[in-house]
Amino acid sequence: MSGEADAPEPDAPAGGTETDALLFGEWEMGEIEYRDPSTKRYLAVTPVAHTMGRHAGKQFQKSEISVVERLINRLMQTEENTGKKQQATRIVREAFEIVEDRADENPVQVLVTAVENAGPREETVRLKYGGISVPKAVDVAPQRRVDQALKFIAQGTMNASFKTTTPVEEALANQLVGAANYDLNAYPINQKEEQERVAAAAR
């Protein structure tokens, strides 16, 4: 009887909640709003920005990693930044400070909104009929939408900062704020719209 009364809620995390901790010691994680229910389960938000690769060998476990760390990892996927985790972490932290000053909002919320906005819902695959390749529009799985959105944000940051006078932190902040506001001039939104336009023509 007492065991039933004291049992925790099924969705309640065991051993306390991580939302009490602060990301980079500055930003709260407990008040994040999700506008897209399809990608909510793939946008993990935790105060841990470096898991030491504990999910690296497990299939589909990347969705358990904080979206902030996944952004950091994406920024490292270029020749100049490969393996520089501390540098990429510093870039994201400083970009978040710029976003907070500019948008007057929790930068983690801005990141989540940007990823939701920049994830394409439709893309094109090539099907072979005999010797002919025919483009075909397909729906994008929610997990891939998050992957694509993070890729677009990282690519836009790289394009805006490499061999230019724009600091990479400023470039990343511009991409996040632009995507969160659904600015068509922002690289992530531009790429999403282009991908969906090509897919619409291939229906």
pLDDT digits (tens, 9 = 90+) for 52-62: 877 777 888 88
Whether the CB-CB separation of 188 and 154 falls below 8 Å is answered with no
pLDDT score of 38 more than 70: yes
Tell me the whole-structure pTM to 2 decimals. Answer: 0.83
pLDDT for res 19:
45
Q: Angle 85-103/67-75 helices, nearest 10 degrees?
A: 120
Q: What is the mean pLDDT of residues 4-17?
A: 44
Q: How many CA atoms lie within 13 A of 23 on its CB side?
A: 28
Q: Tell me the CATH class for 15-201.
A: mainly alpha
Residue extents of the structural domains in the chain: 15-201
Question: Which position has the token pair 């497990």?
Answer: 58
Confidence of residue 131 (pLDDT cuts 50, 70, 90): confident
pLDDT score of 33 more than 50: yes
- Report helix, strand or coil for 147: helix
Q: Which amino acid is at 183?
A: D
For residue 35, with 0-12 CB atoms within 10 Å meaning exposed, 13-18 middle and 19 or more buried, which class applies?
exposed
